[in-house]
Structure 1
């Protein structure tokens, strides 16, 4: 009997230690706005999978997508307060520091190979420093993608076709200014609100990467898809106030994996562009390509403004242009 009691006691101690170890595991919370099937979801889940393999028993990355933890602005505030560990901002970064508006410039990025060079030689320098000055730490540069225009009024061939169209944009001031200069009536709005706004006619159209449009089911409430490729937006895996509280071994793994996932994000972005375009056509959307020369010509004023108004603006533009091949 005494031996049985001893064995039971030992088992209880073992279970208690296991429970204590489990409860001691650190949770790393990663929030993003991407819907099911989005590039954000695919990339974030791949990051979590790889990181968790290496952090087993020490920490676990848990992903909260589809705006579960709020919109971009809300999650950036939570990063600053330390109540969220990681998020994947894109356009909203230009509201934190105007130098991120570099990626608001239309037709800046030629292709994904160009973006790889820009990522390694431009983003990791002045833009990383700009984020740190605002209390954020970028640990990886992923992808949001090349943006296209959808609407319910008419096909967009030249900038003048946007005249009067109520167009949802993200909250970056430069995107609003760009579409206003084309003649549209742009309005910032959280992605989670866009479907209803298009469905009810509060908005006529929107602009997003194809997979973001498709994963948000916007093809169900949009008639025209105009392939404009007007802006390429990176996405930045970003930490905030809680970063310094994570153990060094956890930070090291998260940074290593974030960089490993960078090229994966680009590859998935290319794959999804090709696949989703066919799905958009199958969904009944009318698809056209825009007059790129007309849009490039109409974009010169926004370049002039960026160069004049943004610190080191012309230097950043020149650095990106020098990496074209």
Structure 2
């Protein structure tokens, strides 16, 4: 009995005297536990509908990044200018009111005029060459220039190569452009391009192009197939020339403040998700271009109101020789820069 009592007493003493230590141990153990992983909200604003290549790629990016980050980044995509139009989104990114956007290159004109590289006609041999330029040294230099202006430039996304259309006469050789009034967006490069072939460039908002073509205010235009089809430009033009002479695209950018708030592992997740989404976006863009071109051809065959001209290599060379003469006008580093232009041309 005595032994039992002594043991109980000892146990009681240990329990009593150890209370303070247990509290300290508990505190230490709690402190040693990893803190709950911080979560982030990423608002991705864009101006097109969800069923476009850019819209589909944004939705893919959302799923992929949430998967890679295991839910630590909540991506919220806002399509169709629900939050901001492209002319306001760059300011919103600076304020971190939105964390990601994909404006067209033209919206960066005053910030990084070197992005006008993509306006230069016949600079790219084909889509593979274009992507090698974007994913290589030249593309990285351009992204670095944007990042230096207070954004984080992540990737180039496709709209597509531009084609020529006209109501006045078929555009087969450069001299066919002489005297024709071409709609252009605001761009010194595009202005020089059409002056080089005797055309008359007219700056006009995109929203006015259909009525301008319909009413004869302008004779001709340049657009990727997606713009031509969705805006029905082929219905108010007599000739469509498949020239692939120029390119329209987007630059995906992120708020620098948001980027800097992410831990290194989540920054890597963003990079990987963007790489995967970029591959998908290019697939989506190519697929849509092919599908819509087939619909335009069906319209041409059915109505007989549109003639489609596919330039052969000799005809393309004639255009290339005529318009490439403008390149030296933009060798100045304040415009595009000789190193970027020659770098793109020499990209293997």
Q: What range is the shorter-chain TM-score in? A: 0.7 to 0.9
Match of 2:319 in 1: 295
- 1: CA distance, partners of 2:82 / 2:183: 21
Change (3 A) 1:302 1:52: same
- 2: CA distance, partners of 1:166 / 1:232: 20
- 2: CA distance, partners of 1:196 / 1:35: 23
Match of 2:59 in 1: 45
Structure 2 unmatched runs, 5+ = 1-37, 301-305
Change (3 A) 1:73 1:181: farther
Q: How many residues align?
A: 301
Shift of 1:276: 2.0
Deviations 1:243-281 (A, max 9, x none): 346533654433221112222233333333322221111
CA contact (8 A) 2:169 2:239 kept: yes
Which structure's CA Rg is the greater one? 2
CA contact (8 A) 1:82 1:242 kept: yes
Structure 1 unmatched runs, 5+ = 1-23
Shift of 1:127: 0.8
Match of 1:89 in 2: 103
Match of 2:176 in 1: 161
Match of 1:322 in 2: 346
3-state SS of 2:160 partner: strand
| Aligned equivalent of 1:60, options 67, 74, 77 | 74
- 2: CA distance, partners of 1:76 / 1:260: 24
Pair 1:306-2:327 in alignment: no
Change (3 A) 1:201 1:250: farther
- 1: CA distance, partners of 2:94 / 2:220: 32
- 1: CA distance, partners of 2:80 / 2:197: 31
- 2: CA distance, partners of 1:209 / 1:198: 16
- 1: CA distance, partners of 2:110 / 2:196: 19
CA contact (8 A) 1:83 1:242 kept: no
Match of 2:186 in 1: 171
3-state SS of 1:144 partner: strand
Structure 1 range deviating more: 119-128 or 65-74: 65-74
Change (3 A) 1:136 1:193: farther
CA contact (8 A) 1:39 1:269 kept: yes
CA contact (8 A) 1:39 1:211 kept: no
Change (3 A) 1:167 1:312: closer
Deviations 1:193-250 (A, max 9, x none): 5444444544444322212332334334443221111113442111235534653365
Change (3 A) 1:70 1:60: same
Change (3 A) 1:171 1:270: same
Shift of 1:70: 5.3
CA contact (8 A) 2:210 2:236 kept: yes
Shift of 1:321: 2.6
What TM-score does the superposition give when structure 2 sets the normalisation length?
A: 0.74
| Aligned equivalent of 1:254, options 265, 270, 274 | 270
